[in-house]
């Protein structure tokens, strides 16, 4: 038991160091971005069909968003993707494919959301395949109050990565803004994911950890 606890503590400390390194890099990259470049990004984003996440949040009512497609049978197999409980998951967590997910309905920045997840021994969630993303969509749709939620995807040195260390092999973009000014991913219950600013956009979020 002591060895298991020590390994868990070591893993948590490693993730804290990794997170601090990633966040420091993001802060430095964000600070050197020019106002002119930011203005161009704003023009480009405002001209898109989908408004920025900040605007979307303000227009969403404080009730679950109805999405007819989520009430239909899943396309991938007959299994219902949303599972309310799993024996290996703590109370308040939802299990799926040997992973435990915890939805936090408080709106916060991506930076603060990741710090919160680390504090409970987890990370912001990754979506490794279509079935997993569908599960996350259904979970947010059923227990959330908005159609958006932070995921653990982030852009670093010309590459999209997942904060929990999973490989970024599956891609499901609904819309994509400039990664330099919007390097963090958020889920949409009504479609694929999008990206927004890590420091100013505030959304609910999903934490993930392996089953105990």
Answer whether 0.85 is exceeded by the pTM.
Answer: no
Position 22 scores a pLDDT of 54
User: What was the pLDDT predicted at 211?
Assistant: 82
38 part of a folded domain: no
Q: For residue 161, what is the enclosing H or E element?
A: strand 159-162
pLDDT on residue 88? 84
What are 128's two structure tokens? 């490794």
The CATH number of residue 7's host domain is 3.10.100.10
Question: In this predicted structure, what is the pLDDT of residue 145?
Answer: 85
- Does residue 124 belong to any structural domain of this protein? yes
> What parts of the chain have a pLDDT lower than 70?
1-87, 212
Residue 71 lies in a domain: yes
Query: Does any domain span residue 158?
Result: yes
Q: Which residues of 118-155 are buried (b: 16+ CB within 10 A; e: fewer)?
A: beebbbbbbbbeebbbbbbbbbbbeebebbbbbbbbbb
Indicate whether 62 belongs to any domain.
yes
Write out the residue range of the structural domain in which residue 201 sits.
2-32+48-210
Q: Is residue 40 assigned to a domain?
A: no
pLDDT value for 7: 45
DSSP string, 30-64: HHT--HHHHHHHHHHHHTSSSPPHHHHHHHS-SSP
């Amino acid at each position: 038991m002591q060895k298991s606890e020590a390994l868990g503590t070591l893993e948590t400390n490693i993730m804290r160091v990794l997170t601090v390194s990633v966040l420091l890099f993001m802060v430095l990259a964000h600070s050197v971005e020019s106002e002119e470049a930011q203005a161009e990004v704003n023009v480009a984003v405002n001209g898109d069909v989908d408004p920025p996440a900040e605007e979307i949040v303000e227009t969403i009512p404080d009730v679950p968003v109805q999405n007819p497609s989520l009430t239909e049978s899943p396309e991938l197999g007959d299994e219902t993707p949303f599972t309310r409980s799993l024996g290996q998951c703590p109370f308040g967590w939802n299990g799926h494919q040997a992973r435990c997910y915890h939805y936090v309905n408080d709106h916060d920045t991506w930076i603060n959301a990741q710090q919160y997840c680390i504090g409970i021994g987890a990370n912001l969630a990754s979506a490794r395949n279509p079935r997993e993303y569908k599960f996350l969509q259904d979970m947010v749709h059923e227990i959330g109050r908005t159609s958006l939620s932070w995921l653990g995807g982030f852009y670093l040195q010309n590459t999209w990565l997942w904060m929990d260390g999973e490989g970024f092999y599956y891609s499901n973009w609904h819309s994509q803004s400039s990664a330099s000014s919007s390097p963090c991913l958020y889920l949409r219950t009504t479609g694929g994911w999008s990206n927004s600013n890590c420091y100013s956009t505030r959304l609910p979020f999903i934490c993930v950890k392996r089953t105990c």
